[in-house]
Amino acid sequence: MEVRLDDKAALVTGAGRGIGRAIAKALATCGAHVVLAARTKRQIDAVAAQIASAGGKATPVVADVSDEQSVARLFDEVRRLGRLDVLVNNAGIGRYGPLKDFSAEDFDGVVGTNLRGTFLCCREAMGIMVPQKSGYIINISSVVGLKGYPDQAAYTASKHGVVGLTKSLAVEAQEHGIRVSVIMPGGVDTDLVGDARPDLDRSELLKGEDIAQTVLYLLSLSDRAAVDQIYIRRRAAKPF
């Protein structure tokens, strides 16, 4: 699909690897200046170098989305670009185990990154996008935002929360000309999925590029269209 984002600014969290890296590279290929956020400097520096070598523009920023002050500093860098047209909240972590043995510390860590981090970035983005009267926020949830799996209570709760946050913000933001969508991938070939579901055949999983194409699909729609949520599953999996 043809999507041009020349003179546009985008922010992708969790951009150092996996889905986030694929999305960031796709947005840069379409002409956007992409701010790359992640906790690991080495990873986002490598992605920024790949984008630059392909003729694109990227700014790597080390950030922990679960930390309010870190998010504030991240958006200080975003404001240097003068605008924000696309925010993709992709940063996420997973910790797994039976609920009866799960620590409150691990629960707080998962929810802090996956849900609180999405909230903090959405809030900061709205502060930029509302005066612009434009922008698109795309939150990456998961199939576990729709259903549950054993030993994934914290991760599932966080991703259900992302879906709920998105639904509310989509209604709140529309009067300002801002669209908000959530993508719920099922089974993407990432390290996180490998840890959570070692039983899966990784050759049958979706790739990060499939999710990047879904982001571009959303951005290709006319201003008349609003998509609340997309569930994209691997073809080998049965729908539920």
CATH fold of 9-233 reads Rossmann fold (3.40.50)
The contacts of residue 170 (CB under 8 Å, 6+ apart) are 179, 180, 181, 226, 228
Q: What is the dihedral of CA 164, 27, 222, 146, to 10 degrees?
A: -20
- What pLDDT does 188 receive? 83
Query: Residues 2-18: what's their mean pLDDT?
Result: 96
Environment class of 112 (CB within 10 Å of its CB; exposed 0-12, middle 13-18, buried 19+): middle
Rounded-to-integer distance, Cα 171 and Cα 181, Å: 11
H helices present in 30-138, as ranges: 41-53, 68-79, 104-111, 117-132
Residue 204 pLDDT class (50, 70, 90 cuts): confident
Point out the catalytic residue in the list 96, 155, 217, 231: 155
The domain limits of the chain are 9-233
- Helix (H) or strand (E) segment spanning residue 7: none
Q: What is the pTM of this model?
A: 0.93
* 3-class DSSP state of 137: strand
Rounded-to-integer distance, Cα 74 and Cα 84, Å: 12
Asked about 155 being catalytic, the answer comes back as: yes
- What pLDDT does 105 receive? 98
Tokens of 124: 């900061």
Query: Residues 151-166: what's their mean pLDDT?
Result: 97
215 close to 10: Cβ distance less than 8 angstroms: no
Residue pLDDT, tens place only, 82-116 = 999 999 999 999 999 999 999 999 999 999 999 99
Rounded (5°) CA angle 145-97-157: 25
Residue 233 pLDDT class (50, 70, 90 cuts): confident
- What pLDDT does 65 receive? 98
